[in-house]
């Protein structure tokens, strides 16, 4: 007889529910350690068919660790599981685990592709660098705002010029300098760390054949290329290149019910950061790029009819399709291709 297991994963404990022949045969809890959970599964359910859990902060670690232990682990989208789990009268970890086990038993779920550790490590590098850059912007804005209150307007300038301007303004303001200089020192330290991570990111991108391939597109730099490669991982993960745009959330939603049928805004599903980077790259192609291409020509025609923002979203979607096709074929960007993507 085959068993089906649902795991309600949390930071400290994981609720476990084992079902067989449509009935729950064992409910319990275990420490949130994949090795301990694998031992429990081998003891309580030796003929397990599926072990289902939701996406979450620990899902990458759980999935790879359980698979390494020989457990048939399946990670499903938490949004898809929510509709089924909300049918329970009471929201508890035990009920959630049993609901996931029920989904595993009937096969009513959509499996999520869990990224590898190497991809997650690179994505962490991108996220850390992005966060440090935002902190430097916040600190510089804070410094400008505080000094402005006391009649000291910091001239326009970035980097070392910004630091020199601030220090020169504070020469005759000792009390204010005692407050601002610690902020300036923190800004300088964070900026140095962000630059270090940026150099590491660029170095890794130049050593990656896939990233170099994507950086042949005007407007696509190391960060956008790296984020796209680590998100897609293998080109075979998508049967059609056009599916990538929908996966990132750049296609419009459709609502059809009876006599009502209309297209709404883009779905905005998937990776928010990657979607923003593709929109930024599309904006560069439309507004700043001097290299003519079929993609840019198509986008400029859309801009005349729909406006800049809608055209940039359309170009971003088409850009995602082209980038996936390039990874699949291994060919550099062709300026004359892509108009019919």
pLDDT tens for each residue of 221-248: 999 999 999 999 999 999 999 999 999 9
pLDDT value at residue 257:
77
* CATH of range 3-106; options 3.30.420.40, 3.90.180.10, 3.40.50.510, 3.30.360.10: 3.30.420.40
pLDDT value at residue 185:
96
Instruction: Find the range with the poorest average confidence among 79-93, 170-184, 262-276, 293-307.
Output: 79-93
Instruction: Please state the φ and ψ torsions of residue 60, each to the nearest 5 degrees.
Output: -65, -50
Sign of CA dihedral 187, 193, 196, 198: negative
pLDDT value at residue 81:
86
pLDDT value at residue 265:
86
pLDDT tens for each residue of 158-207: 899 999 999 999 998 999 999 999 999 999 999 999 999 999 999 999 99
Residue 58 scores a pLDDT above 80: yes
- Indicate the domain borders of the chain: 3-106, 117-207, 211-329
Contacts of 93 (CB under 8 A, 6+ apart): 8, 10, 13, 15, 29
Task: Please work out, in degrees rounded to the nearest 5, the angle formed at the alpha carbon of residue 283 by the alpha carbons of 279 and 286.
Answer: 135
19, 101 contact by CB (below 8 A): yes
Instruction: Please state the φ and ψ torsions of residue 238, each to the nearest 5 degrees.
Output: -125, 125
pLDDT value at residue 116:
93
Instruction: Please state the φ and ψ torsions of residue 31, each to the nearest 5 degrees.
Output: -60, 145
pLDDT value at residue 105:
93
50, 5 contact by CB (below 8 A): yes
pLDDT value at residue 103:
93
Contacts of 39 (CB under 8 A, 6+ apart): none
Whether this model's pTM surpasses 0.85: yes
Residue 340 scores a pLDDT above 60: no
Instruction: Find the range with the poorest average confidence among 4-8, 98-102, 196-200, 287-291.
Output: 287-291
CB atoms within 10 A of CB 60: 17
Residue 214 scores a pLDDT above 50: yes
Segment 302-327 shows an average pLDDT of: 95
Integer Cα distance of 109 and 100 in angstroms: 9
Is residue 289 very low, low, confident or very high in pLDDT (cuts 50, 70, 90)?
Answer: confident
What is the DSSP code string of 160-193?
Answer: HHHHHHHHHHTTT-HHHHHHHHHHHHHHHHHHHH
């Amino acid at each position: 007889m085959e068993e089906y297991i649902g795991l309600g994963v949390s930071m400290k404990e994981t609720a476990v529910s084992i079902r067989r022949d449509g009935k729950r045969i064992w409910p319990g809890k275990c420490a949130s350690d994949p090795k301990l959970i694998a031992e429990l599964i081998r003891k309580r359910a030796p003929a397990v068919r599926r072990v289902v859990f939701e996406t979450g902060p620990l899902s990458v670690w759980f999935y790879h660790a359980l698979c390494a232990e020989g457990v048939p682990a399946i990670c499903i989208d938490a949004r898809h599981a929510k509709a089924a789990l909300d049918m329970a009268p009471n929201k508890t970890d035990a009920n959630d685990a049993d609901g996931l086990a029920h989904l595993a038993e009937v096969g009513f779920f959509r499996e999520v592709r869990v990224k590898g550790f190497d991809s997650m490590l690179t994505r962490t590098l991108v996220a850390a660098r992005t966060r440090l850059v935002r902190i430097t912007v916040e600190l510089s804005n804070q410094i400008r705002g505080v000094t402005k209150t006391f009649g000291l307007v910091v001239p326009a300038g970035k980097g070392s010029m910004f630091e020199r301007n601030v220090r020169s303004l504070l020469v005759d303001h000792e009390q204010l300098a005692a407050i601002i200089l610690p902020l300036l020192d923190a800004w300088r330290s964070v900026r140095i760390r962000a630059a270090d991570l940026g150099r590491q990111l660029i170095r890794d991108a130049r050593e990656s054949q896939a990233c170099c391939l994507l950086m042949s597109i005007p407007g696509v730099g190391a960060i956008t290329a790296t984020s796209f490669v680590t998100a897609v991982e293998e080109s075979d993960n998508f049967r059609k290149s056009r599916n990538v745009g929908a996966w990132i959330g750049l296609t419009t939603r459709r609502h059809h019910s009876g006599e009502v049928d209309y297209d709404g805004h883009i779905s905005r599903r998937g990776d928010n950061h990657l979607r923003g980077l593709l929109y930024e790259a599309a904006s560069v192609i439309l507004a700043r790029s001097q290299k003519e291409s079929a993609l840019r020509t198509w986008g400029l025609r859309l801009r005349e009819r729909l406006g800049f923002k809608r055209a940039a979203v359309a170009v971003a979607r088409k850009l995602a399709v082209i980038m996936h096709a390039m990874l699949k074929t291994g060919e550099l960007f062709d300026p004359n291709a892509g108009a019919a993507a």
